[in-house]
Amino acid sequence: MLTKKVDDAKIRMLCGMIDEAEHIVLTCHVRPDGDAVGSTLGMAILLRSIGKKAVVVTPDLPPRSLSFLPEAKEVVAYSKYPDFAKRLLDESDLILCCDFNKLSRLDMLEPLVAGTKGKKVLIDHHEKPDSFADLTISCPDMSSTCELMFRLICDLGLYQELPLDAATCLTTGLITDTRNFSVNCSDPEIYTVLIKLLEKGVDKPMIVREAIELKSLDSLRLQVHALDHKMEIFESHSAAVITIGKEELERFNYQRGDTEGLVNVPLSVEGIRYSFFLREDDDCIKVSARSVNSFPVNKICEDLYGGGGHVMAAGGEFKGSLDECRRILIESMPSYDRWLETNSERHH
């Protein structure tokens, strides 16, 4: 059995909003990951199975690594179908905003979502959500939005109705946000959630292979190149920084998602406490950060790049050159040294 994590008043409100809604849109943050697509698509599949009109609208296309998800083709990316996405949002009377805590994370979709008449529900696990929604269901202590969504589904009394395809989507977010149950997984109940999803028939090994392991040869070569030639180690700050410029991305035929997981690799070296990956995209420098033992990379992303995220997995966007983005980070490292002392890694 799962303990109650969301209060009854909010569950009742959500239940009423779903009952009343005819056209439901589920949306998530830009550059959607397994948790963002898994939570929206999983809930959309469930809602459709109980007779609702429900559609997932994302700011941009999900990465190829998520195309195995059931009904992934039904996802409407605003970047690809702006008119269709706009119409869906205009027609919707309920919008479930999943896996983000502020509207700016919707990127190009922000004005459309902000401007629609539909009621908004925030369903998320990031700290300090903005208060833009009619109903805010924010649980920062949860591993993933998919875990939260699953709990909501149980609280709504819909577990029995949950189709296998929806369970597969929800399990995917659980797996990607916990790096296959290696981080954010100390709450024993997350395994109860997993068991209840597996009981639906979910093929976990398939998800791990598709969502985490499989890479194109180009992507593997790009990552090897990055680690071999573009990783800098700042020993006195226990930090690693990887930078990749546009020219290199082109050389390795970069596709969305090809650098997924790269930022984690330096953390396998003993003594490296945090890792940054800076990638020169078309419109900005995409910043990705990970850490071990609670070194707060979300604080660095917030301070330097106006970004955010979780303590040990965060990111941001920098408008400027790759060099400048790297320089700001390196120059700021000394001011974060004090966080290295807390939660020391080993207790010999």
- Which one, 25 or 175, has the nearer CB to Mn ion? 175
CA distances from 94 to 53, 90, 118, 212, 338 (A): 11, 10, 5, 32, 45
Window 4-43: contact mask with ligand 5GP (x via CB under 6 A):
-----------------------------x----------
Tell me the closest approach of the beta carbon of residue 32 to Mn ion, in angstroms: 10
Question: Does 197 help bind ligand 5GP (rule: CB under 6 A)?
Answer: no
Question: Does 129 help bind ligand 5GP (rule: CB under 6 A)?
Answer: no
**What span, in angstroms and rounded, lies between the C-alpha atoms of 314 and 290?**
6
Please give the residues from 104 up to 123 whose contact with ligand 5GP meets the rule CB under 6 A: 105
Tell me the closest approach of the beta carbon of residue 319 to ligand 5GP, in angstroms: 11
Question: Does 280 help bind ligand 5GP (rule: CB under 6 A)?
Answer: no
Tell me the closest approach of the beta carbon of residue 270 to ligand 5GP, in angstroms: 23
Which residue in 315, 326, 329, 339 binds ligand 5GP (CB under 6 A)? 315
Tell me the closest approach of the beta carbon of residue 234 to ligand 5GP, in angstroms: 19
307 binds, among Mn ion, ligand 5GP, none (CB under 5 to 8 A by kind): ligand 5GP
**CB-count burial class (<10 Å; 0-12, 13-18, 19+) for 343:** exposed
Which residue in 119, 120, 126, 279 binds ligand 5GP (CB under 6 A)? 126
**What span, in angstroms and rounded, lies between the C-alpha atoms of 34 and 214?**
14
- Which one, 286 or 326, has the nearer CB to Mn ion? 286
Tell me the closest approach of the beta carbon of residue 207 to Mn ion, in angstroms: 16
- Alpha carbon 282 to chain centroid, angstroms: 21
Binding footprint of ligand 5GP, residue count (CB under 6 A): 13
> With b meaning 16 or more CB within 10 Å and e meaning fewer, what string describes 58-67?
bbbbbbbbbe
Query: What are the counts of helices (DSSP H) followed by strands (DSSP E) for the chain?
Result: 13, 12
Q: Specify the DSSP element, H or E, that contains 313.
A: strand 313-318
Tell me the closest approach of the beta carbon of residue 127 to ligand 5GP, in angstroms: 10
Radius of gyration of the chain (CA): 20
**What span, in angstroms and rounded, lies between the C-alpha atoms of 188 and 151?**
14
Reading the block at residue 30, the tokens are 């830009």
Residues in contact with ligand 5GP by CB under 6 A are 33, 105, 126, 288, 307-310, 313-317
